[in-house]
Amino acid sequence: MDPRRHVPRTDTVLADPRLAAAERRLGRTVVKEAVAEAQRRVRQGGLAPAEVADAAVAALPRYAAGLRPVLNLTGVLVHTNLGRAPLSPAAVEAVTAAAGCTDVEFDLVAGGRARRGRGALEALARAVPAAEGVHVVNNNAAALVLAATALAAGREIVVSRGELVEIGDGFRIPDLLVSTGARLREVGTTNRTSYADYRDAVGPETGFVLKIHTSNYRIEGFTGSVEVSALTGLGVPVVADIGSGLLSREPLLPDEPDAADALRDGADLVTASGDKLLGGPQAGLLLGRRDLVERCRRHPLARALRVDKLTLAALEATLRGPETPVHRALHADPAVLRERAEALAVRLAAAGTDARAVPSEATVGGGGAPGVTLPSAAVSLPARLAVPLRTGEPPVVGRIEGGRLLLDLRAAPPEADDEVARAVLRAAAPAGENGSADDGMAGSGGGGANGSGAGRGGRR
């Protein structure tokens, strides 16, 4: 008998209460596609007609968007390929509250237009009292582009050759700056630049001197550079691109520059990221002299680079709220991490999984604190589990090291341990023992999501 005669009608299947509820959550197109696929399986003889609704429900995605929450067990705290800084619960709640109509640009008392994102700007100004003015754009590259356009278009930017970095995905600072209409005046050499190099280059055509923190690599040996404090007497603005977004000094990262110190050292304008060590949403921060910030804010390009209400809400909650996940991960107690790894390993080994607790080293990532490692602990598993863990629900991403899969716990909160254990047990079950260890996981560097060095090269 032709199985097509028994395929249930689409409208009949869509009337199933589970699918009707899913349609309200995911949209009609997604649900209809799941139903159509189940009907196709009936026509091919692989599914009973009575099972169409069940199969469609089982095939539905959990989320309307394609982005999936991932457990970051790579040992890279700010992982570029995994979305960089995870937002704090306070920031997530603020984003949800701002998702509808909101007073982002409206004064509820006066009943008229108000300064856009004033709450986030006030919080940023309070976090960095040394800044006379503050402004927010959509990432750090945008902050630098806006500064170059507003302050140096048609003029020169004096910058050390040793600081003309590539910021990830093939984008390079020199190309970025030249695209604004500014001209680069490169000084010094790759490894050594002196104060005299800057002094001799500054002239009537200088828009500003740019000091870039080389946050995704280090040059060691016969080197020399000039600090911001030494550049302030040249008679032109000094712009400091600190990159990773520290607003104040972090004792664990003594070589990582912060906005407060850069301004106290005499920088006229500081640019930084919001989604790295600050622990907030993707954003570019401009802080410094009121007149320079205002020139950037009033430039026509600022409109194209402005952030939306969700970013403003998340940024304000990050600045005003409790400590962020990035801060907690950075300051995690190595002894506690060892205890967690040992408990997980015992639990997994008791279920027959080849699991052991091992020492590990984590990194900041996101182009921050190059060369700095943080003592951590990991659960070591057979490498063959890498693929089923990455493709499971939720996806669990670790790193391959020494032929084993390491699940480093520093970037994962303690409350995720049960979820990690369940994911490993599912992946280790007979039905989940598939995939290969070298499926994009073996590399230890670069920008891929599965290498131990992933995310370290993306600065902005």
Residue 352 sits in a domain whose CATH number is 3.90.1150.180
Same domain as 101, residue 79: no
pLDDT tens string 319-336: 999 999 999 999 999 999
Same domain as 337, residue 263: no
Q: CA 360, CA 375: separation in Å to the nearest integer? A: 6
Residue 452 lies in a domain: no
pLDDT at res. 190: 86
Same domain as 203, residue 78: no
pLDDT at res. 446: 34
DSSP assignment of 300-331 equals THHHHT---HHHHHHHHHHHHSS--HHHHHHT
Count of domains forming the chain: 3
Residue 451 lies in a domain: no
Last residue of a domain, one of 302, 321, 340: 321
Same domain as 354, residue 269: no
Whole-angstrom CA distances from 443 to 158, 368, 448 are: 37, 20, 8
> Average pLDDT of the chain?
91
Read off the pLDDT band of 276 (50, 70, 90): very high
Domain enclosing residue 48, as ranges: 3-59
Same domain as 365, residue 307: no
Same domain as 289, residue 145: yes
Which of 212-221, 230-239, 274-283 shows the lowest per-residue confidence on average (mean pLDDT)? 212-221
pLDDT tens string 136-193: 999 999 999 999 999 999 999 999 999 988 877 778 889 999 999 999 999 999 899 9
Residue 104 lies in a domain: yes
Burial (Cβ within 10 Å: 0-12, 13-18, ≥19) of residue 344: buried
Backbone angles phi, psi at 369, to 5 degrees: 50, 60
Residue 160 in tokens: 């050390």
Burial (Cβ within 10 Å: 0-12, 13-18, ≥19) of residue 43: middle
Backbone angles phi, psi at 307, to 5 degrees: -95, 160
Rounded to two decimals, the pTM is 0.87
More confident: 444 or 366? 366
Amino acid of residue 86:
P
Inter-residue contact 128 to 256 (CB < 8 Å): no
Same domain as 126, residue 199: yes
Tally of CB atoms within 10 A around 94: 25
Same domain as 273, residue 316: yes
Inter-residue contact 30 to 69 (CB < 8 Å): no
pLDDT at res. 366: 84
Instruction: Report how far apart the first and last C-alpha atoms of the chain are (Å, whole number).
Output: 62
Same domain as 307, residue 165: yes
pLDDT tens string 36-75: 999 999 999 999 999 999 999 999 998 888 889 999 999 9
Q: Do strands 269-273 and 238-243 pair parallel, antiparallel, or not at all (unpaired)?
A: parallel
